[in-house]
Structure 1
Amino acid sequence: MAAPLHIVVLAAGQGSRMKSALPKVLHSLAGQPLLHHVLDAGRSLRPDGLHVVIGHGAEQVREKTPGSDIQWVIQKEQLGTGHAVAQALPGIPETARVLVLYGDVPLTSADTLSRLAGVISRESLGLLTVNLLDPAGYGRIIRDRHGAVTGIVEQKDATPDQLVITEVNTGLLGAPAERLKEWLPALSSNNAQGEYYLTDIIALARSEGLGVEVSQPDDPEEVQGVNNRVQLSGLERWFQRRQAEALMMGGASLADPARVDVRGRVETGQDVEIDVNVVMEGEVVIGDRVHIGPNVVLRNCRISADARIEANSVIEGARVDHGAAIGPFARLRPDALIGPEARVGNFVEIKKSSIGRGSKVNHLSYVGDTTMGTGVNVGAGTITCNYDGTSKHHTTVRDGAFIGSNTSLVAPVTLGERSLVGAGSTITRDVGDRELAVARGRQRNIADWVPAEDGLDSEEGDS
């Protein structure tokens, strides 16, 4: 049986090159903070302990990072990676394996971490390395003539011969806790940075006869860190390209893979069409043969088969059923349920309402806190007046009702089956089945109100 696994995430740095008041690990990639990506990957290993070392902006980091499984560790002085890990060790049992991750290295895959964790034992360290065409800035992996790893040299301390080495340290490593508790107090800060390097434990381990087991990621971008906004932008584009490829492999056609952003988890059916500049956030499920037009935002929603989402629509926390049509320029807010074959047209907003099968809200309308039956027709400019300044009230529109344009429905109110409301009405009382409701001022036409010669028909008026 494998020893318990404890993960230590180093997230105490200031990130001064980001030129920001926000701690570096809280900067966003694909819609969530860098640190959250690291924690999600770490949690996939089901660790027995999750320790996050914080320092700069500690309170901000804690406030923005939910999770009852996190043990927070304060590093009051940032004296290097070795010093940071040492702060977490008191909360880790000696029998544990310790895996060290970094809060600004956000895209390491769960598979890569699993392989690294799998080589940690009482007799060996686990080290994640990568071969780079341009290794500038990274610590070089030093091997003996038999190929065994003997140490890591940081770039500022490397000799010219060592600088040409292309295998570099990613910073991610693992070791038995009982050994870390011996080695970390023995580290020296006698180096160019004046810091306690965690990587110096490699040489200590070798001197005591322990092995160093090396693994590598599937892709070098997995271990790229973020030091500035340019690097952050580069990782964002790499990540989005991978998401676009996954969508296409899953059955979606993308008009331009470079112009689709995924900021969460997206599931698609077959023969889905996604146009340019579509943003998908949170949990999004898209059924077979769905068409998504350009400039659409989908957030925590479900779109069923054969639905059409036209250009410039925003759908959040809503469900769109089979064959429904939304937009262009429509907004579905949380708890909107659009039934099969229903139609929500341009400049229509639906909030906390269900729209029944085949019903139509085609133009310039607001529907809130409403239950609408099947086959209802809502004219342009209709609104439900659901809020009285203190409380929200409900509107019920039964099957087959017809609501004329520019109507106000003052909730709470019910329109019966196949009822008809005249255009321009303000409805404050229930309307029964098949009743006609007209609630507007009576029109009066007054003859000769405008003088025959009012200046508008004169030559002066034409000038």
Structure 2
Amino acid sequence: MNKRFAVILAAGKGTRMKSDLYKVLHPVCEKPMVQHIVDQLKGCNVEKTIAIVGHGADTVKDQLGNDIEYALQEEQLGTGHAVMQAENVLNDKDGTTVVLCGDTPLLTKETIDALIEEHESKGAKATVLTASAEDPTGYGRIIRSNDGSVKKIVEHKDASDEERLVEEINTGTYCFDNRTLFEALKHVNNDNVQGEYYLPDVIEILQKQDEIIAAYLTDDFNETMGVNDRVALSRAEQIMKKRTNEQLMRDGVTIIDPDHTYVSVDAKVGKDTVLYPGTMIKGDVTIGEQCTIGPHSEIENSMIGNETTVKQSVVHHSEVGNRVSIGPFSHLRPQTKLGNDVRVGNFVELKKMSMENGSKASHLSYLGDAEIGEGVNVGCGSITVNYDGKNKYLTKIEDGAFIGCNSNLIAPVTVGKEAYVAAGSTITDDVPGESLAIARERQTNKDGYVKKNK
């Protein structure tokens, strides 16, 4: 198999987006557009990927990391000029180079693979990814010879009436023989209204040299859509969401209302799990089998075990075990870890804490910077007081302990195994195992108080 290379055009600011965020970094289903392209290329046996960066170069590099290489296009002088910036990395290499736009997030690795295979099987010097458009107005048309090769690509404004009837259009994604690409780029000029160097001019140069120009027609026009403004961004979001949800349903997940359920493309959801409307699953999430998520729950960068329920709650950067019940109206903040058979109920907030198997905090509690053992009951209104204004401290509650309602545990403090804390107590010292701690004023009744004050 020929060596494969990729060039991603990601230098444009995208003025039509009217945004301080560079265009290729706008997210589609929780992932920046250019990251979608990079991730799809990982499944295409590409040896080297070069992103052409310009506006916001450092921000793009921060997003994509060190898995790929970069070339800087200091002035945006057209797509041909952009690809020229990769010459120092690729010009002496034999193989196939695919050129993609960083604002085409819907392209799949299957289509990219098929494009490259068509290119190599035809022995072409260049291959164009094409699509069939119901309304091709404004697109360059693909005019084929009788043998199926590309005779020419004609822009809409230059097309004859007969050529304008052609529905096969140029999508702006190409494959090239690598050496031929950079040799042809030397002959591209900027003799046009914009004064720019255009990559499609390479096709015309190669045609004049009687080289084979091929085309691969994808059966999904939507895959090739470029995003140039917020309207197109919204459309791409809808298409990606539908694609993701339909795949989950084919894999055995029940989605009650797919139009109102948002699932990251990186999420993994087990079979027989049910997603209710209003659910948002963001980032790198793994959800086990036979879970119930929603309605109106948000899970981000977390792991959820099997047979767990998350109802009208928020879970961020946390790990949840099997048969756990969360919500309604619970908030699991980062670094929360719950064991199996745990119950976290109404209006409970957890942060940077662990709760072992069978423990529960059923309602109206804040538990932060805490280690809670197995079989612990945390009563309503109980709080781990973890912050003194400067530093945060750890609370430990050992196996089988019982924390009565409206208790304040002033960290650092430990409640021992099977100890009891009486309701309404403020605990400032460690409680030994199997002990009862009472820290409150003794009740005093004032007989006749109301009558006297009247």
For 1:79 and 1:157, how far apart are their aligned partners in 2? Answer: 23
Structure 2 unaligned segments of length 5 or more: list them.
Answer: none
Q: Which residue of 2 aligns with 1:89?
A: 87
Aligned twin of 1:268: 269
Secondary structure of 2:301's aligned partner: strand
TM-superposed CA distance for 1:216, in Å, is 2.8
| Residue identity in the other structure for 1:379 | G
Cα distance between partner residues in 2 of 1:120 and 1:94: 17
Distance 1:400 1:147, change over 3 A: closer
Q: Is the 8 A contact 2:244 2:265 kept in 1?
A: no
Distance in 2 between residues matched to 1:417 and 1:358, nearest whole Å:
15
Aligned to 1:234: 235
SS at match of 1:216: strand
- Change over 3 Å in CA distance of 1:256–1:55 after alignment to 2: same
The correspondence of residues 145-294 of structure 1 with structure 2, limited to 5 A, is 145-191=146-192, 193-294=194-295
**TM-aligned CA distance change 1:181 to 1:283, over 3 Å:** closer
Q: Distance in 1 between matches of 2:5 and 2:148?
A: 29
* Residues 264 and 280, structure 1, Cα contact 8 Å, conserved in 2: no
Change over 3 Å in CA distance of 1:452–1:165 after alignment to 2: same
Counterpart mapping for 1:348-387 below 5 A: 348-387=348-387
- Per the alignment, residue 42 of structure 2 pairs with 43
Q: Where does residue 459 of structure 1 map in the other structure?
A: none
Which residue pairs with 1:333 in the alignment?
333
SS of the aligned residue for 1:108 comes to coil
- Aligned counterpart for 2:76 among listed residues 60, 75, 78: 78
Comparing 251-260 and 153-162, the one that deviates more: 153-162
Q: Deviations over 1:128-172 (max 9, x none)?
A: 111110112221112234432022122333333332221011111
**In structure 2, what is the equivalent of residue 440 of structure 1?**
440
Bigger drift between 146-155 and 434-443 goes to 146-155
| Structure 2 length-normalised TM | 0.93
Question: Contact 2:125 / 2:180 at 8 angstroms: preserved in 1?
Answer: no
CA distance in 2, matches of 1:270, 1:14: 41
Query: Residue 243 of structure 1 contacts residue 262 of structure 1 at CA under 8 Å; is this kept in 2?
Result: yes
Give the drift of 1:370: 2.0
1:7 partner amino acid = A
**What is the DSSP-based 3-state SS (H/G/I as helix, E as strand, rest coil) of the residue aligned with 1:67?**
helix
How many corresponding residue pairs? Answer: 451
In structure 1, C-alpha distance between the alignment counterparts of 2:277 and 2:77, rounded to whole Å: 47
Q: Which moved more, 1:282-291 or 1:220-229?
A: 282-291
Corresponding letter in the other structure for 1:36:
Q
Deviation at 1:193, TM superposition (A): 4.4
> Which deviations, in whole Å up to 9, do the C-alpha atoms of 1:327-359 show, x marking residues without a partner?
000011223222222210011012222222222
Once residues 33 and 231 of structure 2 are traced to their aligned partners in structure 1, the CA distance between those partners, rounded to angstroms, is: 15
Tell me the TM-score normalized by structure 1: 0.92
Equivalent residues of 2:375, 2:400 under 8 A apart: yes
Counterpart CA distance in 2 for 1:321 and 1:87 is: 50
1:23 CA displacement: 1.7
Rounded to whole Å, the distance in 2 between the matches of 1:161 and 1:209 is: 24
**CA–CA distance in structure 1, aligned partners of residues 67 and 256 of structure 2:** 41
Q: Which amino acid aligns with 1:447?
A: D
Distance (Å, rounded) in 2 between the aligned partners of 1:67 and 1:57: 14
Q: Aligned with 1:231: secondary structure?
A: helix
User: Residues of 2 paired with 1:377 and 1:243: CA distance?
Assistant: 40
- C-alpha offsets along residues 84-112 of structure 1, whole Å, 9 cap, x if unaligned? 11122122124232210101111110111
Q: Give, in angstroms, the shift of residue 52 of structure 1.
A: 1.3
CA-to-aligned-CA distance 1:163-188 (integer Å, 9 cap, x gap): 22210111111112221222112123
1:55 maps to 54
CA contact (8 A) 1:89 1:177 kept: no
Deviation at 1:196, TM superposition (A): 2.4
Equivalent AA in structure 2 for residue 72 of structure 1: Y
How far 1:79 moved relative to its partner? 2.2
Partner of 1:458: none
Counterpart for residue 104 of structure 1: 103
CA drift at 1:43: 2.8
Write the letter of the residue equivalent to 1:296: S
How far off is 1:297 after superposition? 0.6
* CA contact 1:407–1:423 (8 Å) conserved in 2: yes
**Separation in 1, partners of 2:22, 2:302:** 31
Task: Quote the Cα distance in structure 1 between the aligned partners of 2:428 and 2:116.
Answer: 67
Distance 2:46 2:370 in 1: 46
Match of 2:427 in 1: 427
Instruction: Tell me how far apart the structure 1 counterparts of residues 264 and 162 of structure 2 sit (CA, whole Å).
Output: 43
Aligned to 1:68, what secondary structure does the other structure show?
helix
CA distance in 2, matches of 1:84, 1:98: 14
Counterpart-to-counterpart distance in 1, 2:198 and 2:162: 21
Q: State the partner residue of 1:315.
A: 315
Indicate the larger mover: 398-407 or 236-245: 398-407
* Percent of pairs with identical residues: 41
Match of 2:344 in 1: 344
User: 8 Å contact 1:150–1:203 — kept in the other structure?
Assistant: no
**Structure 1 residues 374 and 76, CA, compared in 2 at 3 Å: closer, same or farther?**
closer
Instruction: Provide the aligned C-alpha RMSD in A.
Output: 2.0
**Offset at 1:290?**
0.9
Q: What do residues 239-295 of structure 1 show as CA deviations (whole Å, max 9, x unaligned)? A: 101111111112111110111111242222222111101011122222222111211
Give the distance between the partners of 1:120 and 1:148, measured in 2 at CA: 11
Q: Hey, what's the Cα distance between the residues in 1 that align with 2:165 and 2:108?
A: 28
Q: Deviations over 1:283-318 (max 9, x none)?
A: 22222221112110111222222221112x011222
**Is 2:21 the partner of 1:22?**
yes
The structure-2 alpha-carbon separation of the partners of 1:181 and 1:146, relative to structure 1 and needing over 3 Å to count, comes to: same
Structure 1 gap segments, 5+ residues each = 455-463
Native 8 Å contact 1:187 1:200 kept in 2: yes
